[in-house]
Amino acid sequence: MTMSSNAGGRRKPPTIHDVAREAGVSRGTVSRVLNGGHYVSPAAREAVDDAIRRTGYVVNRHARSLITGRSDSVGFLLTEPQERFFEDPNFNVLLSGCTQALARHDIPLLLMLAGTKEERRRITRYITAGHVDGVLLVSSHSGDPVAEELRAAGVPLVACGKPIGLGSKVSYVAADDRDGARDMVRHLLAVGRRRIGMITGPLDTPGGVERLAGYKEILTEAGIAIDEALVVSGDYSKASGEAGAERLLAQAPDLDAVFVASDLMAQGVLAVLQRAGKRVPDDIAVGGFDDSPAATAVTPALTTIRQPWDRISTEMVRVLLAQIGGEDPAAVILPTELVRREST
């Protein structure tokens, strides 16, 4: 009741010194128990553990970082248009997956949004100054100056999706876009479709390119010639899906299926088909990509390709930590999965 009241202000937390005194050992021994704990006797370890519990000791990370040179934290960096990611729920799954995977290693995640030029400058300084040990990068597309600068500065870096123009020195984790596209087109063939159109993603991104490649690959394999009138390009947005569907309907009235490179675009496609009086999947089958919530929000529910976002995030963290630990950059490609619903 006397000094134990902490009403109002925060009291000074116990230090490693207090723990050492409490346990009847030296600072060094406490420190050894805290980190790995080699070369410490069972008796000492127990005494220290007890003392830690009694005092409620938590290591002061600033003091530790000051001497180790590590910050024991990593940045989650989102460059370029944020709106794009913000309307995509997969982004949240990725962010939360990374946060939780890091939490398991007791490493906090710093969120960094590089929107304006000023923010980009600040973030670059912050990172290159060593305030984080590494960076999880979500860059929209091509040549990202921030990422390039970080790479040049030797900051451990793991990108989500294959980055463009960063050389081969940067790690990345990506879903197998091409194989996902192959699965979808194979599926459309399997349900009897032959005039299969495609609305692509942005072709300045590896994802966009790969999905298109998978589409062409399977059609060719099936002995179906690629009809360029059946391929229109989009940018993953709902609006571009609508535009693409309209062009496609105009250019190829005999279309009986369309593979759309994102669920968001597919949502737009469904709207256009409905207005045009086409029944899905009876007249035209529609396949999406992403398995975003949009896929189940629409009617008919969308057949789509699921990207393993949970695994992507844990892999990104694993690769980053390995790289911080001194290992070489690595590329990880993860398998996708066809999710069949009502639209095919």
Partner DNA sequence: TCATGCTCTGTGAGCGTTCACAGTAGAGAA
Partner DNA sequence: TTCTCTACTGTGAACGCTCACAGAGCATGA
Buried b (16+ CB within 10 A) or exposed e, 44-61: bbebbeebbeebebebee
Using CB under 8 A as the binding rule, whether residue 89 contacts a second copy is answered as yes
How far is the CA of 204 from the CAs of 90, 136, 222, 256, in angstroms? 21, 21, 27, 28
* Cβ atoms of residues 321 and 105 within 8 Å: yes
Residues 34-93 that bind DNA (CB under 7 A): 34-35, 39-44, 57, 59-60, 63-64, 66-68
Using CB under 8 A as the binding rule, whether residue 76 contacts a second copy is answered as yes
Per partner kind, with CB cut-offs from 5 to 8 A, the member of DNA, a second copy, none near residue 142 is none
Give the integer Cα–Cα distance in Å for 86 and 93: 11
How many CB atoms are closer than 10 A to CB 277? Answer: 7
Min dist. Cβ of residue 288 to a second copy (A):
15
Using CB under 8 A as the binding rule, whether residue 131 contacts a second copy is answered as yes
Interacting residue with a second copy among 35, 129, 143, 239 (CB under 8 A): 129
Please choose, out of 9-17, 181-189, 250-258, 313-321, the segment that lies near a second copy by the rule CB under 8 A. 9-17
Sign, CA dihedral 78-325-168-199, equals: negative
Structure tokens at 146: 């921030």
Using CB under 8 A as the binding rule, whether residue 63 contacts a second copy is answered as yes
Nearer to a second copy among residue 97 and residue 207 (C-beta)? 97
How far is the CA of 187 from the CAs of 42, 198, 233, 257, 280, in angstroms? 61, 14, 21, 11, 16
Length of the chain: 344
Phi/psi for 205 (5° steps) reads -120, 145
Give the integer Cα–Cα distance in Å for 265 and 329: 34
Using CB under 8 A as the binding rule, whether residue 164 contacts a second copy is answered as no
Interacting residue with DNA among 21, 31, 237, 341 (CB under 7 A): 31
Please choose, out of 28-36, 53-61, 208-216, 307-315, the segment that lies near a second copy by the rule CB under 8 A. 53-61
Using CB under 8 A as the binding rule, whether residue 6 contacts a second copy is answered as yes
* Cβ atoms of residues 295 and 301 within 8 Å: yes
Min dist. Cβ of residue 229 to a second copy (A):
29
Min dist. Cβ of residue 308 to a second copy (A):
17
Site residues, a second copy (CB under 8 A): 6-10, 13, 58, 60-63, 65-66, 71, 73, 76, 82, 85-87, 89, 91-93, 95-96, 99-100, 103, 106, 108-113, 115, 119, 122, 125-126, 128-131, 153-155, 238, 267, 271, 293, 297, 299
Q: Which residues bind DNA (CB under 7 A)?
A: 12, 15-17, 24-32, 34-35, 39-44, 57, 59-60, 63-64, 66-68
